[in-house]
Amino acid sequence: GAGVSQSPSNKVTEKGKDVELRCDPISGHTALYWYRQSLGQGLEFLIYFQGNSAPDKSGLPSDRFSAERTGGSVSTLTIQRTQQEDSAVYLCASRITGTGGWSEQFFGPGTRLTVL
Amino acid sequence: ILNVEQSPQSLHVQEGDSTNFTCSFPSSNFYALHWYRWETAKSPEALFVMTLNGDEKKKGRISATLNTKEGYSYLYIKGSQPEDSATYLCAFSSSNTGKLIFGQGTTLQVKP
């Protein structure tokens, strides 16, 4: 079946503009995660969804960042008034839960965001 | 603050060499330790997940060990091949939510 998909694959925007990044998880995966990798940094957790709710959004760097998930499926990460430090690769991952034991997290190919 | 450290940051080896990387993580509140391989322009791919102290996992020429009491894991690659060139990430989780805390990765380049 299809893996995790993300769109767009690349996004160049001007400082101050809003952007929306989309994630389509694997069908049936109840948990969804957003991470980002800034230049020279490791992958950094942003937010976690279980179904449509976000029990952990502790990694969102500021109130300019928000995310939602609808229908237990697609998720959108929105960055308002983008700044140059928002430039990064944004990765989405999903996994199935409730099966007992550990389940693997599957990653999408990422969206490379460049803020000029 | 949960800190996951990986070393070395980068490594260049010749084809056929064996190599190993280190991941250190908090020894308290341990739930699982993960290794991922991330090739350029691809998605990170899970290699191993280990949950018990003393766990050893093997997949072809790649193996990993886990010491939760002292907070470290080793990843070994035997007889490196050019296709092993990638960034190897380790990630720590302290609960079953799946939230992963990643190290900065070790970038391996294998020269033919």
How many CB pairs below 8 Å do chains A and B form together?
59
Write out chain B in H/E/C secondary structure.
CCCCEEECCEEEEECCCCEEEEEECCCCCCCEEEEEEECCCCCCEEEEEECCCCCEEEECCEEEEEECCCCEEEEEECCCCHHHCEEEEEEEECCCCCCCEECCCEEEEEEC
Distance CA B91, CA B50 (A): 11
Mean of pLDDT values over B1-26 = 93
Specify the range with the lowest mean pLDDT, choosing from A13-17, A94-98, B47-51. Answer: A94-98
Q: Are strands B106-111 and B86-93 parallel, antiparallel or unpaired?
A: antiparallel
Please give the residue of chain A at the shortest CA–CA distance from B4. Answer: A42
Q: How far is A36 from chain B (nearest CA, A)?
A: 11
User: If pLDDT is split at 50, 70 and 90, which confidence band does A101 have?
Assistant: low
pLDDT of residue B34: 95
Structure tokens belonging to residue A116 = 């000029």
Q: Which of A102, A106, A112 to mutate to test the interface with B (most CBs of B within 10 A)?
A: A102
pLDDT of residue B95: 87
Mean pLDDT across chain B: 94
Sort out which chain A residues have CB atoms less than 8 A from B32's CB and list them. Answer: 102
Q: Does residue B37 carry a pLDDT above 80?
A: yes
